[in-house]
Chains A and B, each alone.
Chain A
Amino acid sequence: MSSTFFTASPHWRWLILAYFFLGGLAGGSYALATLLDLFGKGRDRRLVHLGYLIAFPLVCVCGLVLTVDLGRPERFWHMLVQSETFHPILKVYSPMSTGAWALLAFGGCAFLSFVAVLAERGWLDRPLLRQLSPPAFVGRLVTVIGALLGFYVAGYTGVLLAVTNRPIWADTTLLGLTFLISAASTSAALLILLGSWSGASDDSIDALERFDASVLVLEAVVIAALIASLGRVATVWLNGWGFLLAGMVLGGIALPLYLRWRSPSRGWRWAIRPALVLLGGLILRAVIIFSSDQLT
């Protein structure tokens, strides 16, 4: 038996699930908006703006959820500053420590890009803020750094679980990769869903759908590799959790891919595809968090 089965659960439950899911969407939406801006066309601008507009409110909710989850919420600042000396504290070998700083820095970039979009759209009448939008140098710098931090926020949560001694979490090193790929697929799905409703060009949505289909295939491969990497520990999923995971793979990956292959055009049912991908991303995280929590 793996030595991880002799440990205690940290009781990370619904709020942490919410953070892992929303943090993935925040980081992923921002990173995708930047990639679309770098590699896309001028007509993708609406989707780029949407990505930045989504990321900032989401990262605010993430901070709030994480604070509420603490045993002593009023001490949230102890994550960043030593309470006795008031010196900054950063432990590079503690994913929770680096994650707290990354979330703060990402929140800063997300805020700057958020106000830049408001200025670009004329909702904020401050010409100086236009400098925060690419292709202005400052804007480009903020969005590239923000995208790197967005990837970090999307993936470090899996690394955080791996850097424990809990069953399943510490029995594989692929959780960071799994969460990052899942964040990419769910963020693309969210942008497809909201972009279609907010009048993004069909061509932009099609490009994002092609991206999402590729990432979904990759996600299926990564989940298979994750199960293989667990070895005998994976037998703990021979129960309802395994059933749920299988359901996630079928309903959250295979079915959206099938629907896209069967009906690539956007009929009235097109919204089912991204909705299924989003639900699948949530279920994936729930299975990984709760199935370990139940093992004492």
Chain B
Amino acid sequence: MMAEPMGFFTDTTVCIGCKACEVACKEWNQLPAANGGVRPLSGDSYDNTRHLDGIHWRHVKFIEQFSADRRQGRWLMMSDVCKHCVRAGCLEVCPTGAIIRTEFDTVVIQSDACNGCRDCIGACPFGVIDINPVSGTAQKCTLCYDRMKVGLEPACAKACPTESINFGTIADLRKMAQARLGQLQHAGESRAYLYGADEGMLGGLNSFYLLVDKPEVYGLPPDPRLPSRNLKSSAGWSMLGAVIVALTSLISFRNRGSRDV
């Protein structure tokens, strides 16, 4: 029986950048440390994780915007994760069938079936997936499928001290997000909006966000699309090329001038 679609609603306005979600994710999923635990400092940010990859399935982005003289500035925090798209590019291209949609409407990579071809990495519109160097397979957030199966909430949402990360049914989360959006707009925060909360973006993101600046500022694509959008026209142009090559060969190989015997 299909369970109700589950997901995350992340309210970035209350994220304090504590990275408890990152730690809880690595702890629960037993993700290895990079470089033997010696992580080079970024040098230009208080964030040293920098991006999601095969061993970082949660990443708290620090958007540090300061004027040149450092007199003016602001911090934006956003706990980034797989969006568990309703129409998922990674699932679309995976040749092995390792990427599946679960009964919770989430997208999971089965590590025992993945052969590390990496097609899904380039297909993801959000740059979420990467290779786990220990397993040699593509990996990303599973929305703690193992915890959900036994009625527990994902480790990151459990650890979040400010309730920036909210876990629940998509229907409930959308109501919660609309209420919070209304509250912020009523308080004068007119820049607030929801990113990926409706079907317009890849059929809906099962992990969606409340943001207060353009998506690009948070490192999110303004117009994420499925990789298959290019399939028909690319294939059509290629077939035309094959026909032209065949015709060129017909002309070149048939006509031999004076030696045409």
Interface residue ranges, A against B (CB under 8 Å): 1, 3-12, 31-32, 35-36, 39-41, 44, 70-73, 75-76, 78-79, 82-84, 89, 91, 93-97, 100, 151, 155-156, 158-160, 162-166, 169-170, 173-177, 180-181, 184, 203, 206-208, 210-211, 214-215, 218, 222, 296
Name B118's closest neighbour in chain A (CB-CB). A10
The tally of residues in B whose CB lies under 8 Å from a CB in A reads 67
B245 and A162 contact, CB distance less than 8 A: no
**B54 (CB) vs chain A CBs: closest residue:** A71
B141 to A: closest C-beta gap in Å: 14
Per-position binary interface string of chain B over residues 77-117, scored 1 when its CB falls under 8 Å from any chain A CB and 0 otherwise? 00000000000010011111110000000000000111111
B74 at the interface (CB under 8 A from A): no
Query: A3-B223, A32-B249, A180-B245 in contact; A8/B130 too (CB < 8 A)?
Result: yes
Residue of B with least CB distance to A99: B95
Q: State A73–B136 Cα separation when bound (angstroms).
A: 9
Task: Report chain B residues within 8 Å CB of A222.
Answer: 241
Q: What are 8 residue pairs bridging A and B, where the CB atoms are less than 8 Å apart in the complex?
A: A41-B261, A71-B116, A83-B113, A89-B95, A159-B235, A160-B119, A173-B237, A180-B245
A-contacting 9-mer, from B65-73, B120-128, B144-152: B120-128
CB–CB A176/B225 < 8 A: no
- Whether A184 contacts B125 by the Cβ 8 Å rule is no
Is B233 part of the binding interface, using a Cβ–Cβ cutoff of 8 Å?
A: yes
A-B interface contact total, Cβ < 8 Å: 220
Q: Check B122 against A89 for contact (C-beta < 8 Å).
A: no
List of A residues within 8 angstroms of B35 by Cβ: none
A183 CB to closest chain B CB (Å) equals 9
Contact partner of A79 (CB less than 8 A), chosen from B96, B225, B249, B261, is: B96
In whole angstroms, how far apart are the Cα atoms of A170 and B127 in the complex? 14
Q: Complex formed: what's the CA distance from A39 to B248 in Å?
A: 11
B33 within 8 A of partner (CB)? no
Besides the known contacts A84-B113, A166-B122, A207-B253, 19 further A-B residue pairs in the complex with CB atoms under 8 A apart: A3-B221, A5-B221, A7-B122, A8-B127, A35-B245, A41-B256, A71-B115, A71-B131, A72-B115, A76-B115, A78-B97, A79-B96, A91-B92, A159-B230, A173-B237, A176-B235, A207-B252, A211-B248, A214-B252
